[in-house]
Structure 1
Amino acid sequence: MAIRNLSNLRAPKKANENKKRVGRGMGSGMGKTSTRGHKGQGSRSGSSLMRGFEGGQMPLHRRLPKRGFTNIFRVEYQVLGLDRVAEIVAAENVSEFTLEKIIDLGLLRKKGALLKVLNNGEIKTAVTIHAHKFSKTAQEAIEKAGGKAILIG
């Protein structure tokens, strides 16, 4: 392949094509009905159909049954397991996990997210963990290892 420089640059395919101009006479190939066809709902001016309109047939989103319930007061937490905490303590020798430190280590994906610590795995070293919520067993495991579970907010 030849080296690209200003002398052999080309526009991408279809980049130089003109916009479709409808209703500009028979010779354009898009005159008379202006690509709308003859008669029918879509041929009239002001025609706009709602999303999911199926020509009068009952739309799919209304044919399917409604299921369940969405709790508008639900609070979502990002979870952190004690197994991951133990891995990081072993690898990086960290004794305090503040929210900023947890974000820096890449354990919390969203910056403004709430953090909940769960007890999956074992922790043997004393660590201080700052989080918005702790499971009861996680709090017991941290305190049993000689650490502290500090609630934020």
Structure 2
Amino acid sequence: MVRSLILAALIAAAAAFSSFTPRNLPTHAATRSSSSSSNLSMKIYDWKRRTADESAIHEGEFTFDNLRPAPGSRKRKSRKGRGISAGQGATCGFGMRGQKSRAGRPTRPGFEGGQQPLYRRLPKFPGQPTGPGHEKELYNLIKLDELNGVAEGGTINFDSLLVSGAITKAKHPIHKIVVGRQDFTAKGVTVQAHAFTKSARDAIEGAGGKCELLSKTTNAVLVA
């Protein structure tokens, strides 16, 4: 008797489950008709974009009076250290302890924890003023007004100027003659240097002088 009652209950439950149809689900015909009659639109899930006035963005031309940032792109400044409700209270997001939680910059720029940093791993490019094979030459500049005390017809170079006290010792081993602030008054002098500017050469030769180039390695006079 009990078995027959259980079997009847199971048969009734199976029949009820097979005949169940959800009432809220649309049929295929209803779905097809609604999709053909309505326009599809993509949902915007950002609530700031949904509630913002973007009428000026869709205008044909951008001008200074309708330019504005995208809604939600400009956030309020985070107020750190103002309690746990502010989101960055107490330690302000820097943790409890350690080097990076202290005041000031934790490490110097380029520091990588002790390993060889990037700026030392990369090769040096030739052609730079501080790299190997550079083309820029640094000269000791000698101005023309420093040669005004030379006697007419004399020969002058860096060593003779240093002995006479007209100039002081130089930082670079090669010397270049340039135009000074004062006028060049020496007449008929022979100037020896490793380089001359065009204006300085014209001033020396215009006063009846002569320019002699010196070798940058041996300091010997080069024959033109």
TM-score (norm 1): 0.49
Structure number with higher relative contact order (C-alpha < 8 Å, ≥ 6 residues apart)? 1
Q: Point out the structure with the larger helix share.
A: 2
Q: Point out the structure with the larger strand share.
A: 1
TM-score (norm 2): 0.35
If you compute each CA radius of gyration, which structure gives the higher value, 1 or 2?
2
